[in-house]
């Protein structure tokens, strides 16, 4: 049985999945309203202005760890009677979000960039809310590659 990483990050699908993942993040940010949405949009615009390939590069560097964090859920999905990984992931959205945030927490803790660590810790609570909102769409994206 292939792992989720073997499927999504295989040499045959890596580029397409990475591009779709970048579009997914951009679409999620674009869909957000209110003050949080304004902040997300402004932050992403600043990042893209400073370094246009920053988002894509960060996603490519970190995607394997985030995909691996979803592996236990993927294994449970395969053993379940649920035919749709997107629906399964939505049913376990809190667990998926916690797994994804745990990867981010480890990556940030290992960072030597104090400004990045500080910004992350200030935004961690809102990141949790954003991930919870994004999990169903992430599940649909992944489902397209299974």
pLDDT in tens, 57-115: 888 999 999 999 999 999 999 999 899 999 999 999 999 999 999 998 998 888 888 87
What are the φ and ψ backbone dihedral angles of 135, each rounded to 5 degrees? Answer: -55, -45
What confidence score (pLDDT) does residue 47 get?
Answer: 76
Give the Cα separation of 141 and 39 in Å (integer): 25
Three-state SS for 13? coil
Q: Are 142 and 17 in contact (CB under 8 A)?
A: no
Judged against a pLDDT cut of 80, whether residue 123 lies above it is answered with no
What confidence score (pLDDT) does residue 39 get?
Answer: 79
Token pair in block for residue 98: 């916690």
- pLDDT tens, 46-63? 878 878 888 888 889 999
DSSP state of 1: -
- pLDDT tens, 31-49? 888 888 787 888 778 878 8
What confidence score (pLDDT) does residue 79 get?
Answer: 93
Q: Where are the domains of the chain?
A: 4-143
- pLDDT tens, 16-34? 999 999 999 999 889 888 8
Q: Are 145 and 74 in contact (CB under 8 A)?
A: no
């Amino acid at each position: 049985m292939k792992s989720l990483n073997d499927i999504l990050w295989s040499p045959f699908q890596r580029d397409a999945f990475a591009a779709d993942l970048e579009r997914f993040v951009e679409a999620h940010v674009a869909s957000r309203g209110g003050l949080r949405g304004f902040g997300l949009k402004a932050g992403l615009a600043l990042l893209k202005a400073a370094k246009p390939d920053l988002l894509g590069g960060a996603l490519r560097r970190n995607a394997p760890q985030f995909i691996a964090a979803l592996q236990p859920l993927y294994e449970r999905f395969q053993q379940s009677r649920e035919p749709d990984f997107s629906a399964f992931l939505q049913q376990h959205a809190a667990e998926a979000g916690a797994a994804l945030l745990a990867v981010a927490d480890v990556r940030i803790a290992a960072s030597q960039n104090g400004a990045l660590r500080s910004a992350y810790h200030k935004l961690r609570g809102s990141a949790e809310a954003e991930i919870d909102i994004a999990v169903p769409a992430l599940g649909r994206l992944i489902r397209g590659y299974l």
